[in-house]
């Protein structure tokens, strides 16, 4: 198997007699083990009269097996031992995966295997879980991705399995002559055959021992290695589905044009990456690109290429274009520009295409050899999916391999990008519609595209427009060098320190990849003087990213990324990726940042986009709206999207320019440089920053305020959504480590129990959970429920009753369970950073929180060792007692067409 040069894991493949394909990974660098099983069965396999059955089966498999019959016992076991599990159902595959602390992996794997050997699928559990499926369906009724997806299903070949309804609901999954559990069991027996499965297991155990254990557990699965699943025979589109314009009315405001071409399966192109290379060329954003020309015309805000659904016998190649208001008037011209660019590609010199392909190949090789480890859970899941698409030697390398430019293949694929093989999808609130999609009631219509216009598209003159192909990338000229270690500090060193400017530096000594992360926080009191200024700060960040997109796009292609974003009290610049040219890029970005001026046309366009974006937030899930209100209530510098929209809507270009001109007059700067850089490069960066910032008035660090809860507070909010929701937030009384660890321990113990009681047992809603939720370094814990049926007052009542009694369950824990729970939380606290990105994030968060010793993990570890069960029981009893201090937010249905408003029944808050 081809692996990255910095991958020290050991991989071994095997295949059992029943046909199960297995990949075993020996990994001594992780505190956790993981497994993932992916089966070649998805919603495409649903019986036509039982649509959603594959999804229903996915839910049922976690609700008890022969040797572990208690519903949810697997999830609870994992939760108590530092792990978790999840699953998903796709079109042609379903996947199940878990992670757990290494010491408990063997027991977890035993339970996991039993799920696929002898699931119970009990009638009583089916009745309950069908409610969860229906709640999941109702949760997404206003989700535009689901609504648009359904229109797609209704505008393709109805005989293709893609046209089936994937989620299921009460209507499609109701009992017929007998309980549906019998149909689910029969579906499982037929589809979940070992020869259709792949299993990936990663642990610190030796590969040989893992193989023995896997054979013991999984050889009993039914399977026939000689039985192959038949290929899909129907085509996704018939001739009558092409050359169509499809108009879709979204729920949230959206202005999008999609130029879509139908391709066959692209699995056979993975070695050459021909389709992704074409996507790379069409999606290029540099000078002379399709994106650049259309943006300069004021017609688009964004363009991406290559997305779209794909499967074993189909691939949609979508060119997705975010339209401006002006662009809405020029959709025909935009499509003509697209065909001009396609003609330019078809006429391109082979030598240039080979050079551009080589650039892309070089980048992929660099990315492959500088891979950073992800969560072991995500890693095994991705590999178990790859096993259905790539041969063993390419399970990892398959996503990166580019064997060479294939001109014949390139021409064959590009020939499919023709007008007769095209569909146009226009998404806008004001499009003409004449029908509604099933299940989601999405308004849409279909019309024929004019034949003469289609013919004219094939005859466009590419030379008539100033479009150009990319040139070779200058950022690839500098070789990738991994520096010798010259800075052996375990944590960042403060190399410049004053009241107004801090520069922290650390050369990476752990991951040894040619990458780095640079953070620069610019605090400006001007940004938080009013809600209007907070809104203008966010608008400034968006305008800046828009302004420099073309200039720095080659850097992005070369693996160096950048992002300017607003934070409470200012702006943060983050650059990351390959370290070689990053300092030069940082210098250029900062120079632009401090001197940039914006075009009035782009200002008004982005102002409109931001207002729509913030107003769209009002159409979000009720739980999301409540969390937004929670944040705005407790963080004065983080207002709700609606208040930001109201503030920015009336700002003129002149007023914004006045704000911009004084934005950086008085600054406090904090910087972190962490990665493959030498101390000398760090000093050069300091000199560059000091030169750039010279002449600016400096100011002290801004302390981000938080509102303190002193008494119970209740808020009721009207929302434009049929679901009901509640959020209960409990805030730490102080910033002490001892209270922080109590809330972390409480969340660790309660989260799975809360979910099981509120969702699995009481079926109050699909969206249920809890979480440790610190705000501005003040610890807290939040509980939430969203339900399509149960009103918010009842949800609050159930939640409060559970919480008030939870101290009794804690009291009943025996000493062994208590120590195991502490050990699981301890492993989470001291868990090693998986990659350079996570370590940089942790360092940056510590700097922002004033933890210059970088010892929060050590402090939490000490506090947890000192925490007794009696202390936590007493704390939980006090925290969750009736009428204890908390912020309770709940919804009521919106009855007017006015914007969402809030009625505060009782709220006692102090700064």
Closest CA to 631 of 570, 568, 573: 568
Residue 315 φ/ψ, nearest 5 degrees: -155, 125
Whole-angstrom distance, CA of residue 468 vs CA of residue 470: 7
Ranges assigned E (strand) in 586-636: none
| DSSP one-letter string for 240-293 | GGSSEEEEE--SS---EEEEEEEE---GGGTTTTHHHHHHHHHT--STTSHHHH
What pLDDT shows up at residue 903? Answer: 35
The pTM is what? Answer: 0.92
- Please report which confidence band the pLDDT of residue 895 belongs to, taking 50, 70 and 90 as the band edges: low
Mean pLDDT of the region 326-352:
97
In this prediction, residues 491-498 reach a mean pLDDT of: 93
* pLDDT of amino acid 161: 98
Q: Name residue 323's beta-bridge partners.
A: 300
What pLDDT does residue 908 have? Answer: 32
Q: What is the pLDDT of residue 406?
A: 97
Instruction: Say if residues 749 and 806 touch (Cβ distance below 8 Å).
Output: no
**Average confidence (pLDDT) over 876-891:** 96
Rounded Cα–Cα distance for residues 294 and 305 (Å): 14
Q: pLDDT by residue (tens digit) across 346-375?
A: 999 999 999 999 999 999 999 999 988 899
> Cβ distance 244 to 424 under 8 Å?
yes
Average pLDDT over every residue of 546-565? 94
Q: How confident is the model at residue 901 (pLDDT cuts 50, 70, 90)?
A: very low
| pLDDT over threshold 50, residue 911 | no
- Residue 376, CA distances (Å) to 7, 36, 113, 202, 833 in order: 13, 10, 19, 8, 12
- Could you tell me the CA-to-CA distances from 854 to 288, 742, 746, 847, 907 in Å, in that order? 47, 21, 24, 8, 37
pLDDT at 474: 84
Q: Which residues contact 734 (CB under 8 A, 6 or more apart)?
A: none
Lowest mean pLDDT among 82-86, 169-173, 570-574, 694-698: 694-698
Q: Which two tokens stand for residue 702?
A: 């801004």
3-state secondary structure of 329: helix
Exposed/middle/buried for 782, CB within 10 Å: 0-12, 13-18, 19+? buried
The region, left, alpha or beta by phi > 0 then psi within -120 to 50, assigned to residue 708 is beta
User: If residue 129 lies in a helix (H) or strand (E), which one and from where to where?
Assistant: helix 123-139
Nearest C-alpha neighbor of 826 from the set 771, 745, 749, 770: 745
Q: What is the pLDDT of residues 97-153, one digit of tens each?
A: 999 999 999 999 999 999 999 999 999 999 999 999 999 999 999 999 999 999 999
Q: Which of 404, 424, 405, 401 is nearest to 414 (CA)?
A: 405
Q: Above 60 in pLDDT, residue 209?
A: yes
Q: Using an 8 Å Cβ cutoff, are 371 and 4 in contact?
A: yes
Residue 642's alpha-carbon distances to 638, 843, 896, in angstroms, are: 12, 33, 17
pLDDT, residue 584, reads 93
**pLDDT above 90 for 40:** yes
User: If DSSP codes are grouped into helix, strand and coil, which group holds residue 551?
Assistant: coil
**Domain architecture of the chain: domains with CATH:** 10-219 (3.30.830.10), 239-472 (3.30.830.10), 493-693 (3.30.830.10), 712-893 (3.30.830.10)
Residue 789 pLDDT > 50? yes
- Residue 786 confidence (pLDDT) above 50: yes
Among residues 113, 155, 339, 144, the alpha carbon closest in space to that of 251 is found at 144
| Summary mean pLDDT of the chain | 94
Residue with tokens 């939430």: 784
What average pLDDT does range 538-555 have in this prediction? 96
């Amino acid at each position: 198997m081809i692996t990255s040069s910095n991958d020290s894991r050991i991989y071994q493949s095997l295949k059992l007699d029943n046909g199960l394909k297995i990949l075993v990974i020996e990994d001594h660098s992780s505190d956790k083990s993981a497994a993932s099983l992916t089966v070649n069965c998805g919603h495409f396999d649903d019986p036509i009269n039982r649509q959603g059955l594959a999804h229903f089966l996915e839910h049922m498999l976690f609700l008890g097996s022969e040797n572990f019959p208690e519903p949810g016992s697997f999830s609870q076991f994992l939760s108590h031992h530092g792990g978790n599990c999840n699953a998903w159902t796709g079109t042609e595959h379903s996947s199940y995966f878990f992670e757990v602390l290494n010491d408990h992996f063997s027991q977890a794997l035993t339970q996991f295997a039993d799920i696929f050997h002898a699931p119970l699928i009990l009638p009583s559990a089916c009745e309950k879980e069908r409610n969860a499926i229906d709640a999941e369906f109702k949760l997404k009724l206003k989700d535009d991705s689901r609504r648009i997806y359904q229109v797609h299903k209704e505008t393709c070949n109805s005989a293709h399995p893609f046209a089936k309804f994937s989620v299921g609901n009460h209507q499609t999954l109701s009992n017929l002559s007998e309980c549906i559990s019998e149909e689910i069991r029969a579906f499982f027996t037929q589809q979940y055959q070992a020869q259709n499965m792949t299993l990936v297991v990663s642990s610190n155990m030796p590969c040989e021992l893992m193989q023995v254990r896997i054979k013991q557990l999984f050889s009993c699965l039914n399977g026939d290695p000689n039985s192959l699943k038949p290929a899909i025979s129907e085509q996704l589109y018939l001739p009558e589905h092409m050359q169509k314009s499809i108009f879709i009315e979204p729920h949230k405001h959206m202005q999008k044009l999609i130029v879509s071409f139908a391709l066959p399966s692209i699995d056979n192109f993975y070695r050459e990456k021909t389709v992704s290379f074409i996507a790379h060329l069409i999606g290029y954003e540099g000078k002379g690109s399709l994106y650049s020309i259309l943006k300069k015309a004021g017609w688009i805000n964004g363009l991406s290429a290559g997305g779209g659904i794909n499967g074993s016998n189909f691939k949609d190649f979508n060119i997705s274009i975010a339209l401006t208001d002006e662009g809405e008037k020029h959709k025909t011209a935009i499509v003509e520009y697209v065909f001009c660019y396609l003609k330019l590609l078809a006429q391109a010199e082979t030598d240039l295409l080979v050079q551009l392909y080589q650039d892309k190949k070089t980048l992929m090789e660099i990315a492959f050899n500088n891979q950073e480890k992800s969560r072991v859970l995500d890693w095994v899941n991705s590999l178990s999916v790859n096993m259905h698409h790539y041969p063993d030697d390419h399970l990892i390398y398959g996503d990166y391999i580019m064997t060479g430019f294939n001109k014949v293949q390139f021409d064959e694929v590009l020939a499919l990008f023709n007008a007769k093989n095209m569909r146009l999808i226009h998404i806008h609130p004001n499009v003409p519609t004449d029908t509604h999609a099933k299940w989601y009631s999405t308004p849409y219509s279909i019309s024929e595209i004019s034949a003469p216009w289609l013919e004219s598209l094939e005859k466009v003159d590419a030379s008539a427009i100033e479009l150009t192909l990319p040139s070779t990338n200058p950022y690839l000229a500098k070789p990738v060098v991994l520096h010798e270690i010259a800075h052996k500090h375990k944590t960042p060193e403060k190399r410049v320190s004053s009241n107004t400017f801090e520069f922290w530096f650390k050369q990476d000594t752990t991951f040894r990849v040619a990458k780095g992360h640079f953070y620069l926080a610019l605090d400006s009191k001007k940004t938080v003087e009013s809600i209007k200024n907070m809104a203008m700060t966010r608008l400034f960040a968006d305008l800046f990213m828009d302004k420099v997109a073309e200039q720095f796009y080659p850097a992005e292609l070369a693996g160096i990324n950048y992002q300017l974003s607003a934070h409470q009290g200012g702006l943060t610049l983050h650059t990351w990726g390959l370290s070689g040219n990053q300092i030069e890029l940082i210098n250029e970005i900062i120079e632009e940042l401090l001197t940039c001026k914006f075009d009035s046309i782009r200002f008004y366009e982005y102002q409109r986009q931001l207002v729509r974006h913030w107003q769209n937030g009002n159409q979000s899930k009720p739980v999301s709206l409540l969390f937004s209100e929670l944040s705005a209530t407790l963080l004065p510098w983080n207002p709700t999207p609606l208040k930001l929209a109201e503030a920015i809507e009336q700002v003129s270009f002149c007023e914004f320019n006045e704000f911009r001109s004084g934005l950086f007059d008085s600054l406090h700067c904090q910087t972190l440089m962490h990665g493959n850089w030498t101390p000398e490069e760090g000093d050069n960066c300091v000199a560059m920053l000091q030169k750039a910032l010279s002449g600016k008035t400096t100011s002290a660090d801004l302390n981000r305020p938080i509102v303190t809860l002193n008494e119970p507070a209740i808020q009721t909010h009207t929302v434009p959504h049929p679901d009901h929701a509640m959020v209960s937030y409990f805030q730490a009384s102080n910033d002490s480590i001892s209270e922080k660890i109590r809330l972390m321990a409480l969340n660790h113990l309660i989260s799975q129990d809360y979910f099981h009681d509120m969702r699995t047992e009481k079926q109050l809603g699909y969206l249920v959970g809890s979480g440790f939720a610190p705000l501005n370094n003040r610890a807290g814990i939040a509980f939430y429920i969203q339900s399509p049926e149960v009103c918010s007052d009842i949800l609050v009542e159930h939640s409060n009753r559970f919480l008030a009694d939870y101290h009794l369950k804690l009291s009943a824990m025996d000493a062994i369970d208590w120590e195991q729970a502490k050990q699981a939380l301890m492993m989470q606290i001291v868990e090693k950073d998986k990659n350079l990105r996570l370590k940089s994030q942790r360092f940056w968060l510590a700097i922002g929180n004033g933890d210059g010793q970088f010892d929060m993990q050590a402090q939490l570890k000490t506090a947890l060792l000192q925490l007794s069960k009696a202390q936590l029981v007493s704390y939980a009893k006090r925290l969750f007692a009736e009428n204890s201090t908390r912020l309770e937010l709940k919804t009521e249905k919106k009855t007017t067409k006015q914007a969402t408003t809030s009625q505060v029944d009782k709220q006692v808050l102090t700064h």
